[in-house]
Structure 1
Amino acid sequence: MSVLDPLSHALAALVASFHSTLTALGADPATGLTWTLSVVAVVMTVRLALLPLVVHGVRSAHAAARARPQLADLSHRYRNRADLESIRRLREERRAIAAEHGQSRLGCLPMLLQVPVWIALYHLLSQVAAGTSVGAMTPALVASLGAATFLGVPLADRGYVGLGPAHLAVTAGLALLAAGLAFVTQRYVVAPNTVTDGLPQAVATAQHLVPLASAVSLLVAGSVVPLALLVYWACSGAWTLAQSAVITRWFPTPGTPAAARAALRAG
């Protein structure tokens, strides 16, 4: 039994519930469209539920950016001081600065709480596509999803090579869409809203490689994961792009290029 099983069962209940709801509204329970919409509905529901953590993350980033100049000056003043009294005063002044700017003691922990949810959803879709029942996703529902198709390609099929050119076009198209969304989000939306001043050169270089690495990893993963997961990744990527664009335009982090552009628009 995995520690993620409770999350996987909760997400399985969501998938089954949305499938039942769409069926009750007149949708064909066996079609790929119904199952695709069920997966999309689960992604949107989870993302809406996680919005409070996103808001907390934005506020934490703003607080950290406002505090950064003072913390840098503090580190400069206390550099080369290793006596216990100096260490004590340094900690006290850091706490005072954090309190002044409203920095949370939890740091990025609330944002990290999202990770188990996405891992659980990944494993759920992988298991169901492999024919394994999970919680409310009974053997009958699993068999139904396994037989359903998206643009003619079974949702349970894996990889780029399968039923011919149409199979390749659908799977590669979804993988390229997910990869493109990830690249655009990281390169043109997230990066301009990220503070890089004062970062070590190695860290700054690594940040420049994140967009490409994200896109390549999705393209590689697309060769082994079921089509249902590619649908999930594309839907989630579209949400992430829209959410990040809203944050960058209307709630930019102080000290970033995005904040400078916002100031120009306001002025």
Structure 2
Amino acid sequence: MPAQMSDILPALLSPVTHAVAAVLAATHDVAGAIGLSPGSAGAWLLAILLLVVAVRTVLLPVTVHGVRSSHARAHAAPQLRQLRQRYAGNRDLDQLTAMRAEQKAIHAEHGVSGWSLAPALLQLPLFYALYRVVSDLTAGQSVGHAVGALDAGLVASASAASVAGLHLTSHLGATAASNPVAGLALVAVALGAAALSLLTQRWFVLPMVDVADLPEGMATVQRLMPWLGAVGVLAAAVFVPAGLVVYWFFNNAWTFAQQGLIWRFAPTPGSPAAARREATALEGAGS
């Protein structure tokens, strides 16, 4: 039974894995078309970068929906605050049912959606799929078979390409033991990915969160999230292939830029970022 359960996830996500392999093969073709040697590390790094661009571009409508949802929740917040105050301490089942009905009506009035976390959730299958693709590259190289749309030649090319001895299929422990330079290179990429995650959360995400209505415990957790995310990236980098760490670096760079634009041009109403934007606008009008 455990073996059967372990086969369920790969089977369910097999279409996503094949799609990631197909897109990676296509982006590698693009890298070759612009003049990079197909077997070079530069071609495969560009292929991973273009994979990130393709994935995040597809997710842009979901991201826009998430921004609109956060704005809707902010507009609904005063009414929800009054609702909670009105029913504070009430334990009557009928009254609680009425409160939930009113809460639902307020959400509907402002268009509050529960899908604001969709961009992050939708990327989880993609991370797993890329992990499977990069992991299968090692097996594919050893037996000379294809990995989805990546034929045997592309598998051999991706597995052989390296920077300072660092391959897409390298793992930190074994690499650091056999090639300290390559190990340091992978550590640098992981640190870069973690730093981008930390700075995104601290500079652009936290300033768009109004913690005034949150319990102190939840507010504390909210403030710790940037550090927890960065530590999570570093911890995961110990176990996953280098190709996935590179993907995280490019993906986190995209997130950094994207959240910076949202923070600058569409901050959540009522948040410190929105207050900063309004103050800047008033200073500009006054001058």
1:248 aligns with 2:256: no
- Equivalenced residues, count: 266
CA distance in 2, matches of 1:247, 1:19: 31
- Counterpart CA distance in 1 for 2:241 and 2:154 is 16
Deviation at 1:77, TM superposition (A): 1.0
Deviations 1:234-261 (A, max 9, x none): 1011001001111111111112111110
- The answer to whether the Cα contact below 8 Å between 1:130 and 1:156 also exists between their aligned partners in 2 is no
Q: What is the correspondence of 1:136-151 to structure 2 with a 5 Å cutoff? A: 136-151=149-164
The counterpart of 1:178, out of the listed 190, 193, 200, is 193
> 1:7 and 1:256, CA in 2 relative to 1: closer, same or farther beyond 3 A?
same
Once residues 179 and 117 of structure 2 are traced to their aligned partners in structure 1, the CA distance between those partners, rounded to angstroms, is: 45
> Aligned pair 1:196/2:227, yes or no?
no
Gaps of 5+ in 1: none
Distance (Å, rounded) in 2 between the aligned partners of 1:232 and 1:113 = 15
Whole-Å Cα distance in 2 between the matches of residues 100 and 29 of structure 1?
Answer: 54
1:151 offset after TM fit, Å? 4.2
**1 or 2, which has the higher helix percentage?**
2
| Structure 2: tracts of 5 or more residues without a match | 1-9, 283-287
Deviates most, 123-132 or 21-30: 123-132
Q: Which has the higher contact order (CA 8 A, sep 6+)?
A: 1
Pairing partner for 2:56 from 44, 47, 52? 47
Match of 1:56 among 65, 84, 100: 65
Q: CA contact under 8 A between 2:30 and 2:47: conserved in structure 1?
A: no
| Distance apart, 1:10 and its partner CA | 0.6
SS in 1 for 2:12: coil
Out of 210-219 and 151-160, give the one that drifted further: 151-160
2:116 equivalent in structure 1: 108
Deviation (angstroms), 1:12:
0.5
TM-score of the two chains, using structure 2 as the length reference: 0.85
> Runs of at least 4 residues of structure 1 off by over 4 A?
82-85
Greater displacement, 41-50 / 93-102? 93-102
Alignment-derived partner of residue 238 in structure 1:
253
Structure 1 position 103, deviation (Å): 1.4
Moved more, 226-235 or 78-87: 78-87
Give the Cα separation in 2 of the matches to 1:129 and 1:185: 33
TM-score by length of 1: 0.90
Stretch of structure 1 that moved more, 203-212 or 41-50: 203-212
Moved more, 222-231 or 178-187: 222-231
Within-5 A mapping of 1:61-76 = 61-76=70-85
Instruction: Map Cα deviations across residues 157-187 of structure 1 (whole Å, 9 max, x no partner).
Output: 2105144342133111111111111111112
Provide the rounded CA distance (Å) in 1 between the counterparts of 2:16 and 2:94.
Answer: 47
Distance 1:62 1:209 in 2: 23
User: Counterpart in 1 of 2:15?
Assistant: 6
The CA deviation string for residues 209-246 of structure 1, in whole angstroms up to 9 with x for no partner, is 22122222222222332221221111011001001111
* Alignment partners' CA distance in 1, 2:97 and 2:190: 52
The answer to which of 160-169 and 185-194 deviates more is 160-169
Q: For residues 50 and 105 of structure 2, what CA distance do their matches in structure 1 show?
A: 44
- 1:20 equivalent to 2:39? Answer no
- Out of 225, 229, 234, the position equivalent to 2:240 is 225
Report the CA distance between 1:19 and its aligned residue.
1.3
Query: Residue type of the partner of 1:124?
Result: V
In structure 2, relative to structure 1, the CA distance for the partners of 1:15 and 1:196 (3 Å cut) is: same
Determine helix, strand or coil for the equivalent of 2:269: coil
Q: What is the alpha-carbon distance in structure 2 between the residues aligned to residue 24 and residue 139 of structure 1?
A: 20
Please, what is the CA RMSD of the aligned residues?
2.1
Q: Residue type of the partner of 1:17?
A: A
Hey, what's the Cα distance between the residues in 1 that align with 2:161 and 2:200? 31
Instruction: Give the 5 Å matches for 1:89-108.
Output: 89-104=98-113, 106-108=114-116
Which residue number in structure 2 is paired with residue 158 of structure 1?
A: 171
**What whole-Å deviation, never above 9, does each CA across 1:45-94 have from its counterpart, x for those lacking one?**
10011001111111111111111121111121123444455344323322
Structure 2 partner of 1:126: 135
Identity %: 42
